[in-house]
Chain A
Amino acid sequence: MNPELSGILVSFAITLLIGIPLGKYLAKMFAGEKVWTDFMKPIENGIYKLSGISPNQPMDWKQFLKAMMVINSLWLVYGFFVLMYQDKLPLNPDGNPGMTPDLAFNTIISFVANCNLQHYSGETGATYLIQHFIFMFLQFTSAATGIACAVAVFKALRDKTTADVGNFWVYFVKSITRLLLPLSVVVALILTFNGTPASYAGKDKFISLQGDTVNVSRGPAAQFIAIKHLGTNGGGWFGANSAHPLENPNYVTNITEVVAQMIVPMAMILAFGYFIRRKKLGWVIFGVMAVGMFMLMIPTISSELGGNPAIAKMGVSQATGAMEGKEVRIGPMATAYWSTLTTIVSTGSVNGMHDSTMPLTGLWQLLGMMINSFFGGCGVGILNYLIYLIIAVFISGLMVGRTPEFMGHKVEAREVKIAALITLLSPFLILAGTAISSYVFNNYGSANWAVKPSSWLNNPGYHGFSEMLYENTSANANNGSGFEGLGDNNIFWNVITGLEILIGRFLPIIGPVAIAGLLAKKKFVPESAGTLKIDTVTFGIMTFAVIMVLNALSYFPALALGPIAEYFSMLK
């Protein structure tokens, strides 16, 4: 077999091999059953004690969300100031300057929200202190926040009637001590021993074979890159992210990183099924997501392997596929595979530049982020899916002649209202954001910003539109990847995407938790033969149809003007 194809097949196989048992483990661990990592208990108890937390205190959904919001707000405020004054703080061997307020605003939101959209460049924009004490810290905690909120939903949906969704601090701390930290150690070690730097040494300098003087950025990157993927964060240590040869030195690290970003989202889906004791439901959801993933991935791979038709016309050989923005050691197939996964699971790390991928690849990347729940980010993937599920349950419940119910609870106006609001939110943020960007580009081209609107596009025409659409989509999806040609470090982009990330992160977390909390308080309705079963293939197809139709309807015109128009115009 083609070693590139076998490479991605092996990647996927490893993902399944780790993801499936991890799902079972997570369900048990969060349910408080005996697991092999119980040796961490003393450490956790120490953390609770030092923090003044009583781990056994039950929380209703409002208290739970309050705790979540308070600690996240704390990070926002504290991080904002540290970023602005990073130049005055220690651990700055390369002498990087402090961030402007708008960049600090954008950056801190981006990391708190598990988005990791980076309007700075890792080598020159952030000190080691920031990279570790703010960014890496938040890469752990933002992922743990998402996971904790998902577990609250699990608990609410498992118990027949309850007000208690579990203790936020406990889910949060356990996400770190029992999942993210141990896995990070493993991944970081693999990376280190494959050539990713892990020491605190600053920039290096040497004279190349040709006689050029070369400065080399280094630093403790392996630790960071591990959690960047495990926590579906995606923010790179270096500007070029995982395309950078130190961040992703060889094919082994490439497999490691792409597996690392998939296993937690995948495991969370199965954990859901195991936790609520509806194993089959977990697998049906898994199936829907997997089908969605392949539907995006296969055409992506095919369009990248096909190469750039415009370059084909020049007569050079594109035997290896489209190579602009790609690394030889990784190759187009693994880059395409990665690009699908990183957009569906909201990691947003890249091992090749998305801006230079083929138009249809861009289309699938955008769609992956718009849907944002084919596995989705750590914890938040299943939360996003829940919203689609509620809508699917509502419509199909009616279609079988019963007022809709979900997991034994009636879905009524209040839940639908929340679900409808969240459904509305993504199109609103993405389309309104893109509309404002286009408007500013059209009418205020010469605004006196760090990057002038007239010059913020790196590419003209439809592709330029795609750059703006991509940026807004990525922000709303908390993805963090970009069509990086966009000149986005100015006050406009920093503020607008900052707001999009903030809203696009927290409302879609609050909504599902509230829905689950509200449902859990309702009377439990046992299933009968007339009840719509949601763990069937039929219902899986229904949910899939809801996801595809809702997204297609919301974004078709925008996509038509961007990647679709570019694609068809390149054919001629």
Chain B
Amino acid sequence: MKTLIQSIRLTIVLTVLLCIIYPVVISFAGKFSKGKGNGETITLNGKIVGYANEGQKFDKPQYFWSRPSAVGYNAAGSAGSNKGPSNPDYLKEVNSRIDTLLKYHPYLKRSDIPADMVTASGSGLDPDISPAGAQIQVKRVAQFRKLDEQKVAVLVKEHTEKPLFGPEKVNVLKLNVALDELK
């Protein structure tokens, strides 16, 4: 009984320390970060068009496309596809994504397509694509927007991040915002 009372009292004391003081202090410190502790947003023409770190759906021909998403880029319900590597349905789906890509990018060979453009990300909110994934779309975007292909290619290059550690990547939202800003 004594132990139980000690336990209850300790639980209360630690709740104050760990669930109130600690998070509030961090939350306060977060106000000084880039996104003020709410997550960093991106604006175009004064309007918030998305979160820098969260991917969004891009499947219209004038934009660089994002990766396939198992949740259709629902930022309130992240998830991966959880398809196993040998799942026949899944493999069929991948195959049809390849076909779709080839349809919209008739100039591509299969071997030009990087795997990330035909596989769903872990979160379903991947903000990035591989540089190869962006490069294969340059021609389509340029053609659709009637832009100089070279200009779009330069834009992609500018948006290709090459960190010291970790893979190279292109943030699709930032690239597309820059694309929209070109006009």
Chain A residues with CB under 8 Å of chain B are 3-4, 6-7, 10, 47, 50-53, 66-67, 70-71, 74-75, 78, 121, 123-124, 132-133, 136-137, 140-141, 169, 173, 176, 181, 184-185, 188-189, 192-193, 195-201, 203-204, 206-210, 212, 214-218, 220, 222-224, 238-240, 243-246, 249-251, 254-255, 307-308, 310-311, 314-331, 334-335, 350-353, 355-359, 458-464, 466-467, 483-485, 566, 569-570
Contacts and interface: CB of A to CB of B under 8 A. Distances in A.
Interface of B: 3-11, 13-15, 17-19, 22-23, 25-27, 29-31, 33-41, 44, 47-60, 63, 67, 73-88, 90-91, 94-95, 98, 110-116, 118-130, 132-133, 162-169, 173, 176-177, 180
A464 B128 CA distance: 30
A217 B76 contact: yes
A317 B112 contact: yes
Contact of B115 (A10, A78, A320): A320
B55 A218 contact: no
Given A197-B30, A217-B78, 5 more contacts: A251-B166, A319-B115, A320-B116, A327-B121, A352-B122
Nearest to B162: A3
A223 B75 contact: no
Given A70-B4, A459-B83, A209 B22 contact: no
A184 B25 CA distance: 12
Given A199-B36, A317-B132, A7 B122 contact: no
Contact of B85 (A181, A218, A310, A484): A310
Contacts of B40: 195
Contacts of A314: 91, 94-95, 98, 110
B35 A197 contact: yes
A186 B22 CA distance: 11
Contacts of A358: 85
A222 B166 contact: no
Contacts of B25: 185
A66 B3 CA distance: 8
Nearest to A201: B38
B85 A329 contact: no
B37 A198 contact: yes
A328 B163 CA distance: 13
Contacts of A188: 26
Given A75-B11, A215-B74, A216-B76, A316 B39 contact: no
A177 B87 CA distance: 48
A246 B54 contact: yes
A42 B39 CA distance: 36
A328 B52 CA distance: 15
18 contacts: A7-B165, A70-B4, A195-B33, A198-B29, A209-B63, A217-B75, A243-B122, A244-B78, A246-B51, A250-B53, A318-B115, A319-B132, A326-B122, A329-B127, A353-B81, A359-B85, A466-B84, A485-B81
A331 B116 CA distance: 10
A317 B111 contact: yes
A246 B53 contact: yes
Contact of A570 (B39, B63, B86): B86
